[in-house]
Amino acid sequence: MVRKEKFTPLQILALTLFAIYALLPLWWVIVTIFKDNGQLFSTFGLWFGNKSYLSENLNTLFTRQDGIFTRWAVNSIVYAGTTALGSVVVSAMAGYAFSAYEFKGKDALFGLILATIMVPSTALVLPLFLMMQKMGLLNTYWAVILPGLVNPFGLYLMRLFWDAGFPKDLMEAARIDGAGEWTIFQRLGLPLVRGGLVTVGLFAFVAAWNNFFLPLVAVSREDLFPLTLGLSVWNQTSSSSGQEPIYTVIVLGSLISILPLVLAFLTLGRYWQGGLANGAVKG
Protein backbone atom coordinates (compact mmCIF):
# COMPACT_ATOMS: atom_id res chain seq x y z
CA MET A 1 0.00 0.00 0.00
CA VAL A 2 1.18 3.49 -0.84
CA ARG A 3 -1.07 5.30 1.59
CA LYS A 4 0.18 4.96 5.11
CA GLU A 5 -1.96 4.47 8.19
CA LYS A 6 -0.86 7.61 9.98
CA PHE A 7 0.04 11.20 9.19
CA THR A 8 3.47 12.45 10.27
CA PRO A 9 3.46 15.15 13.00
CA LEU A 10 4.41 17.78 10.43
CA GLN A 11 1.48 16.79 8.25
CA ILE A 12 -0.88 16.92 11.24
CA LEU A 13 0.44 20.39 12.06
CA ALA A 14 -0.20 21.69 8.52
CA LEU A 15 -3.69 20.21 8.42
CA THR A 16 -4.55 21.53 11.89
CA LEU A 17 -3.38 25.05 11.10
CA PHE A 18 -5.57 25.21 8.04
CA ALA A 19 -8.51 23.67 9.90
CA ILE A 20 -8.20 26.45 12.50
CA TYR A 21 -8.23 29.05 9.72
CA ALA A 22 -11.30 27.44 8.16
CA LEU A 23 -13.21 27.10 11.43
CA LEU A 24 -12.19 30.28 13.28
CA PRO A 25 -14.94 32.53 11.84
CA LEU A 26 -17.50 29.83 12.63
CA TRP A 27 -16.27 29.61 16.20
CA TRP A 28 -16.61 33.39 16.44
CA VAL A 29 -20.21 33.02 15.22
CA ILE A 30 -21.01 30.44 17.91
CA VAL A 31 -19.57 32.72 20.60
CA THR A 32 -21.22 35.87 19.27
CA ILE A 33 -24.81 34.65 19.12
CA PHE A 34 -24.78 34.53 22.94
CA LYS A 35 -23.82 38.21 23.25
CA ASP A 36 -25.68 41.47 23.07
CA ASN A 37 -24.33 44.42 21.17
CA GLY A 38 -22.57 45.90 24.20
CA GLN A 39 -20.75 42.65 24.95
CA LEU A 40 -19.76 42.38 21.32
CA PHE A 41 -17.53 45.41 21.78
CA SER A 42 -16.55 44.97 25.41
CA THR A 43 -15.65 41.27 25.66
CA PHE A 44 -12.97 39.19 23.97
CA GLY A 45 -14.28 38.20 20.54
CA LEU A 46 -13.22 34.57 20.64
CA TRP A 47 -14.70 33.73 24.02
CA PHE A 48 -18.13 33.87 25.65
CA GLY A 49 -19.37 36.80 27.72
CA ASN A 50 -20.52 36.33 31.30
CA LYS A 51 -24.24 36.35 30.49
CA SER A 52 -26.19 34.76 27.66
CA TYR A 53 -28.36 36.95 25.46
CA LEU A 54 -29.26 34.16 23.05
CA SER A 55 -32.98 34.23 23.83
CA GLU A 56 -33.12 38.03 23.45
CA ASN A 57 -31.31 37.72 20.11
CA LEU A 58 -33.66 34.99 18.93
CA ASN A 59 -36.59 37.12 19.98
CA THR A 60 -35.34 40.18 18.08
CA LEU A 61 -34.47 38.08 15.04
CA PHE A 62 -37.93 36.58 14.69
CA THR A 63 -40.00 39.62 15.70
CA ARG A 64 -38.16 42.49 14.00
CA GLN A 65 -40.25 44.04 11.21
CA ASP A 66 -43.19 41.75 12.04
CA GLY A 67 -41.12 38.59 11.75
CA ILE A 68 -39.89 39.25 8.23
CA PHE A 69 -36.87 36.97 8.84
CA THR A 70 -39.16 33.92 8.70
CA ARG A 71 -40.54 35.16 5.41
CA TRP A 72 -37.00 35.51 4.04
CA ALA A 73 -36.18 31.96 5.13
CA VAL A 74 -39.30 30.63 3.40
CA ASN A 75 -38.38 32.63 0.28
CA SER A 76 -34.87 31.16 0.26
CA ILE A 77 -36.28 27.65 0.53
CA VAL A 78 -38.76 28.32 -2.31
CA TYR A 79 -36.12 29.92 -4.54
CA ALA A 80 -33.41 27.31 -3.98
CA GLY A 81 -35.76 24.32 -3.85
CA THR A 82 -37.59 25.17 -7.06
CA THR A 83 -34.40 26.10 -8.86
CA ALA A 84 -32.71 22.85 -7.83
CA LEU A 85 -35.65 20.65 -8.84
CA GLY A 86 -36.22 22.43 -12.12
CA SER A 87 -32.59 22.53 -13.07
CA VAL A 88 -32.18 18.79 -12.33
CA VAL A 89 -35.05 17.96 -14.71
CA VAL A 90 -33.80 20.30 -17.43
CA SER A 91 -30.15 19.23 -17.12
CA ALA A 92 -31.00 15.52 -16.94
CA MET A 93 -32.99 15.68 -20.17
CA ALA A 94 -30.45 17.79 -22.04
CA GLY A 95 -27.51 15.74 -20.73
CA TYR A 96 -29.30 12.61 -21.91
CA ALA A 97 -29.74 14.08 -25.39
CA PHE A 98 -26.02 14.83 -25.61
CA SER A 99 -24.97 11.47 -24.23
CA ALA A 100 -27.40 9.03 -25.86
CA TYR A 101 -28.00 10.47 -29.33
CA GLU A 102 -26.02 11.53 -32.34
CA PHE A 103 -27.30 14.59 -34.12
CA LYS A 104 -26.09 17.33 -36.37
CA GLY A 105 -24.21 20.18 -34.73
CA LYS A 106 -23.93 18.30 -31.42
CA ASP A 107 -20.32 19.19 -30.61
CA ALA A 108 -20.69 22.81 -31.67
CA LEU A 109 -23.79 23.25 -29.52
CA PHE A 110 -22.17 21.62 -26.51
CA GLY A 111 -19.12 23.85 -26.94
CA LEU A 112 -21.27 26.96 -27.15
CA ILE A 113 -23.13 26.05 -23.95
CA LEU A 114 -19.88 25.35 -22.09
CA ALA A 115 -18.36 28.63 -23.27
CA THR A 116 -21.16 30.57 -21.55
CA ILE A 117 -19.75 29.45 -18.18
CA MET A 118 -17.26 32.26 -18.74
CA VAL A 119 -19.88 34.98 -19.16
CA PRO A 120 -19.90 37.03 -15.95
CA SER A 121 -23.26 37.00 -14.21
CA THR A 122 -23.42 40.79 -14.37
CA ALA A 123 -23.39 40.59 -18.17
CA LEU A 124 -26.53 38.46 -17.91
CA VAL A 125 -28.30 40.05 -14.98
CA LEU A 126 -28.14 43.69 -16.13
CA PRO A 127 -29.87 43.13 -19.48
CA LEU A 128 -32.17 40.60 -17.77
CA PHE A 129 -33.28 43.36 -15.43
CA LEU A 130 -34.36 45.51 -18.38
CA MET A 131 -35.98 42.56 -20.15
CA MET A 132 -37.91 41.49 -17.06
CA GLN A 133 -38.94 45.08 -16.46
CA LYS A 134 -40.58 45.13 -19.88
CA MET A 135 -42.25 41.78 -19.30
CA GLY A 136 -43.49 42.82 -15.87
CA LEU A 137 -41.57 40.03 -14.15
CA LEU A 138 -39.67 42.21 -11.69
CA ASN A 139 -40.67 41.70 -8.06
CA THR A 140 -42.04 38.23 -8.65
CA TYR A 141 -40.80 34.82 -7.57
CA TRP A 142 -40.26 33.98 -11.23
CA ALA A 143 -37.67 36.72 -11.64
CA VAL A 144 -35.39 34.90 -9.22
CA ILE A 145 -36.25 31.32 -10.16
CA LEU A 146 -36.38 31.22 -13.97
CA PRO A 147 -32.82 32.40 -14.78
CA GLY A 148 -31.40 29.80 -12.39
CA LEU A 149 -33.04 26.87 -14.17
CA VAL A 150 -30.44 26.83 -16.92
CA ASN A 151 -27.13 25.78 -15.57
CA PRO A 152 -24.38 25.02 -18.12
CA PHE A 153 -22.13 23.45 -15.48
CA GLY A 154 -25.02 21.23 -14.35
CA LEU A 155 -25.57 20.09 -17.93
CA TYR A 156 -21.87 19.33 -18.28
CA LEU A 157 -21.83 17.25 -15.08
CA MET A 158 -25.05 15.49 -16.02
CA ARG A 159 -23.66 14.48 -19.42
CA LEU A 160 -20.65 12.94 -17.69
CA PHE A 161 -22.94 10.95 -15.42
CA TRP A 162 -24.97 9.69 -18.40
CA ASP A 163 -21.78 8.80 -20.28
CA ALA A 164 -20.49 6.80 -17.33
CA GLY A 165 -23.69 5.26 -15.99
CA PHE A 166 -25.90 4.44 -18.94
CA PRO A 167 -24.70 1.75 -21.39
CA LYS A 168 -25.89 2.34 -24.94
CA ASP A 169 -26.50 -1.40 -25.59
CA LEU A 170 -29.21 -1.19 -22.96
CA MET A 171 -30.94 1.40 -25.08
CA GLU A 172 -30.80 -0.81 -28.17
CA ALA A 173 -32.12 -3.78 -26.24
CA ALA A 174 -35.02 -1.75 -24.87
CA ARG A 175 -35.87 -0.50 -28.34
CA ILE A 176 -35.96 -4.06 -29.64
CA ASP A 177 -38.39 -4.84 -26.85
CA GLY A 178 -40.53 -2.04 -28.16
CA ALA A 179 -39.95 0.61 -25.48
CA GLY A 180 -40.47 4.23 -26.51
CA GLU A 181 -37.72 6.81 -26.21
CA TRP A 182 -39.29 8.58 -23.24
CA THR A 183 -39.87 5.31 -21.40
CA ILE A 184 -36.23 4.35 -21.92
CA PHE A 185 -35.12 7.70 -20.49
CA GLN A 186 -37.47 7.73 -17.56
CA ARG A 187 -37.77 4.09 -16.50
CA LEU A 188 -34.42 2.71 -17.52
CA GLY A 189 -32.08 5.70 -17.56
CA LEU A 190 -32.95 7.93 -14.63
CA PRO A 191 -32.52 5.25 -11.90
CA LEU A 192 -29.02 4.55 -13.25
CA VAL A 193 -27.86 8.16 -12.80
CA ARG A 194 -29.47 8.80 -9.42
CA GLY A 195 -26.13 9.91 -7.97
CA GLY A 196 -25.78 12.43 -10.75
CA LEU A 197 -29.23 13.86 -10.11
CA VAL A 198 -28.41 14.38 -6.44
CA THR A 199 -25.05 15.99 -7.30
CA VAL A 200 -26.46 18.38 -9.87
CA GLY A 201 -29.39 19.20 -7.59
CA LEU A 202 -27.04 19.93 -4.71
CA PHE A 203 -24.89 22.25 -6.82
CA ALA A 204 -27.95 24.08 -8.13
CA PHE A 205 -29.39 24.38 -4.61
CA VAL A 206 -26.18 25.88 -3.22
CA ALA A 207 -25.82 28.26 -6.17
CA ALA A 208 -29.42 29.46 -5.79
CA TRP A 209 -29.25 29.71 -1.99
CA ASN A 210 -26.05 31.74 -2.25
CA ASN A 211 -27.19 33.90 -5.14
CA PHE A 212 -27.03 37.56 -4.31
CA PHE A 213 -26.68 39.60 -7.45
CA LEU A 214 -29.82 38.32 -9.18
CA PRO A 215 -32.22 38.95 -6.27
CA LEU A 216 -30.48 42.25 -5.53
CA VAL A 217 -31.41 43.43 -9.01
CA ALA A 218 -34.65 41.53 -9.61
CA VAL A 219 -36.61 42.14 -6.40
CA SER A 220 -36.92 45.37 -4.46
CA ARG A 221 -39.88 44.40 -2.27
CA GLU A 222 -38.60 43.32 1.14
CA ASP A 223 -41.14 40.51 1.45
CA LEU A 224 -39.60 38.85 -1.62
CA PHE A 225 -36.01 38.96 -0.35
CA PRO A 226 -34.05 35.76 0.20
CA LEU A 227 -32.02 35.48 3.41
CA THR A 228 -28.77 36.69 1.81
CA LEU A 229 -30.31 39.93 0.60
CA GLY A 230 -32.36 40.52 3.74
CA LEU A 231 -29.40 40.13 6.09
CA SER A 232 -27.24 42.38 3.93
CA VAL A 233 -29.92 45.09 4.06
CA TRP A 234 -30.12 44.76 7.84
CA ASN A 235 -26.37 45.15 7.97
CA GLN A 236 -26.63 48.34 5.92
CA THR A 237 -29.35 49.91 8.06
CA SER A 238 -27.65 48.71 11.22
CA SER A 239 -24.44 50.49 10.26
CA SER A 240 -26.06 53.77 9.33
CA SER A 241 -26.40 56.38 12.04
CA GLY A 242 -29.53 56.83 14.11
CA GLN A 243 -30.29 53.11 14.26
CA GLU A 244 -29.62 50.81 17.15
CA PRO A 245 -27.08 48.33 15.78
CA ILE A 246 -28.16 44.70 15.86
CA TYR A 247 -24.92 43.03 14.78
CA THR A 248 -25.24 40.00 17.05
CA VAL A 249 -28.79 39.43 15.76
CA ILE A 250 -27.47 39.54 12.19
CA VAL A 251 -24.80 37.01 13.14
CA LEU A 252 -27.48 34.74 14.59
CA GLY A 253 -29.50 35.14 11.39
CA SER A 254 -26.39 34.31 9.36
CA LEU A 255 -25.88 31.12 11.34
CA ILE A 256 -29.48 30.05 10.75
CA SER A 257 -29.15 30.87 7.06
CA ILE A 258 -26.15 28.58 6.60
CA LEU A 259 -27.48 25.64 8.62
CA PRO A 260 -29.43 23.99 5.75
CA LEU A 261 -26.35 24.01 3.53
CA VAL A 262 -24.07 22.66 6.22
CA LEU A 263 -26.56 19.88 6.95
CA ALA A 264 -26.95 19.09 3.25
CA PHE A 265 -23.20 18.74 2.88
CA LEU A 266 -22.73 16.65 5.98
CA THR A 267 -25.36 14.19 4.74
CA LEU A 268 -24.88 14.33 0.96
CA GLY A 269 -21.21 15.26 0.83
CA ARG A 270 -20.13 12.01 -0.80
CA TYR A 271 -22.26 12.72 -3.88
CA TRP A 272 -20.79 16.17 -4.13
CA GLN A 273 -17.21 14.95 -3.92
CA GLY A 274 -17.95 12.29 -6.52
CA GLY A 275 -19.28 14.98 -8.82
CA LEU A 276 -16.20 17.10 -8.36
CA ALA A 277 -13.94 14.15 -9.07
CA ASN A 278 -15.80 13.35 -12.28
CA GLY A 279 -15.90 16.92 -13.47
CA ALA A 280 -12.27 17.54 -12.73
CA VAL A 281 -10.81 14.38 -14.18
CA LYS A 282 -12.61 14.60 -17.47
CA GLY A 283 -12.38 18.38 -17.70
- Of residues 58 through 87, those in contact with other proteins by CB under 8 A are none
Among 54, 65, 70, 175, binds other proteins (CB under 8 A): 175
Backbone angles phi, psi at 201, to 5 degrees: -60, -40
> Alpha-carbon distance 163 to 123, whole Å?
32
- Tell me: does residue 231 bind other proteins (CB under 8 A): yes
The residue from 52, 140, 235, 268 that contacts other proteins (CB under 8 A) is 235
Residue by residue, DSSP assigns 167-221 as -HHHHHHHHHTT--HHHIIIIIIHHHTHHHHHHHHHHHHHHHHH--HHHHHH--S
> Considering beta carbons, is residue 66 or 169 the nearer one to other proteins?
169
> Nearest distance from residue 52's CB to other proteins, in Å?
18
Map residues 38-57 to x or -, x wherever contact with other proteins holds by CB under 8 A: --xx--xxx-----------
Contact pick of 50, 55, 240, 267 for other proteins (by CB under 8 A): 240
C-alpha angle 16-22-24 in degrees, rounded to nearest 5: 95
Question: Binding segment for other proteins among 50-58, 61-69, 117-125, 190-198 (CB under 8 A)?
Answer: 117-125
Question: Using CB under 8 A, which of 91, 157, 203, 249 touches other proteins?
Answer: 91
User: Given the complex with other proteins, which of 56 and 181 has the nearer CB atom?
Assistant: 181
Chain centroid to CA 173: how far?
Answer: 38
Q: Which helix (H) or strand (E) holds 64?
A: helix 54-100
Write each residue from 120 to 159 as x if it is in contact with other proteins (CB under 8 A), else as -, in one continuous string. xxxxxxxxxxxx--------------xx-xx-x--x----
We find the least distance from the C-beta atom of residue 189 to other proteins, in angstroms, to be 11
- Return d(Cα 33, Cα 21) in angstroms, integer: 20
Q: What span, in angstroms and rounded, lies between the C-alpha atoms of 225 and 251? A: 18
SS3 35: coil
Among 50, 136, 176, 267, binds other proteins (CB under 8 A): 176
Nearest approach, Cβ of residue 93 and other proteins (Å): 5
C-alpha 272/C-alpha 247 separation (Å) is: 33
